[in-house]
A and B are shown apart, each in its own frame.
Chain A
Amino acid sequence: MLDAKYKKINEKLKKTSIGIAGLGGLGSNVAISLARAGIGRLVLVDFDIVEKTNLNRQYYFLDQVGKKKTLSTKENIRRVNPTIDIQTFDEKLIKGQMEKRFTDVDIVIEALDNAVTKTNLIEEILTKLPNKKIISASGVSGYGNSDRIKTSKLGNLFLCHDEEALSSEKDVLTAPKVALIANWQANIALELILGDKL
């Protein structure tokens, strides 16, 4: 009985493609979680390299310091599941064409760190790709207060947010809170793909 349920879930997830914008604390954790869940295709966009200071919350390892985040995430996913179709883009998202790499994915995960870039990506996805669902996150800093995290549905925008959190420039970033929100995003993605009933 349970085997049949797994089979049904796996088939659906395998057919799904998800784009992840940014591979920092949110994106690196979202990517691994979705890979473990069995998403068939991932499109990863980030321009940055792994730094030692990232390791307190981002899904990277000491031996990856200095390497591209796209490459490192791909490497980590491969260690979990070598069959996922992964496309990487080592580049910055440019205002005016932020949706470019996400035109053919089913769902976009906004995992950027700057509030301006976050807002720009949301606006461009919602206006240029009106049928695309985007899952965004806001308020990842701090620790504790897990119960403050909420999901707001605004049409095709699904926003998980802790409105009382401070901006990252004014507060600490910790693994539990960042990974919690990242997995919150991944969990919404699964909900959107699989629906309530199976």
Chain B
Amino acid sequence: MSIIVNGQKKKWLKNETIKELLKRMHYSFPLVVVKINDKLVHRKEFSEFKIPDKSEIKVIHMISGG
């Protein structure tokens, strides 16, 4: 009953959405690229997408500048 978020083991919470996970992790950056088990999830799905148990999640935020 656990998930891996950016390499860290975290407790899996039933029905937790990406939006809720980002909040739990204190990832407050507004623009992030989220991949769950190597699949990209669109930002518009963040509030509905429920994270499955044993998922591996990568969250990377984009910073302005280029």
Q: Which residues of A contact B (CB under 8 A)?
A: 22, 24-27, 111-116, 118-119, 122-123, 126-127, 136-141, 152, 154-155, 157, 159, 161, 163, 165-169, 171, 173, 178
Contacts and interface: CB of A to CB of B under 8 A. Distances in A.
B64 A154 contact: no
30 contacts: A26-B66, A27-B66, A113-B66, A114-B66, A115-B62, A118-B31, A118-B64, A119-B62, A123-B33, A126-B40, A138-B60, A138-B61, A140-B63, A140-B66, A141-B63, A141-B65, A152-B58, A154-B33, A154-B35, A154-B60, A159-B33, A159-B60, A161-B60, A163-B61, A166-B63, A167-B63, A167-B64, A167-B65, A168-B66, A169-B64
A103 to B, nearest CB: 19
A155 B40 contact: yes
Nearest to B58: A154
Contacts of B30: 115
A125 B47 CA distance: 22
A153 B60 CA distance: 11
Contacts of A27: 66
B42 interface: yes
B10 interface: no
A159 B30 CA distance: 18
B43 interface: yes
A127 B40 contact: yes
Contact of A173 (B33, B35, B38, B65): B65
Contact of B63 (A122, A127, A165): A165
A24 B32 CA distance: 22
A138 B63 contact: yes
B23 interface: no
Bin chain B's interface residue count. Answer: 10 to 19
A159 B40 CA distance: 13
A31 to B, nearest CB: 13
Contacts of A112: 66
A152 B6 CA distance: 11
4 nearest A-B pairs in the assembled complex, by CB-CB distance:
A168-B65, A113-B66, A115-B64, A167-B64
A113 B64 contact: yes
Nearest to A173: B65
Given A115-B31, A122-B33, A138 B62 contact: yes
Contacts of A126: 40
Nearest to A27: B66
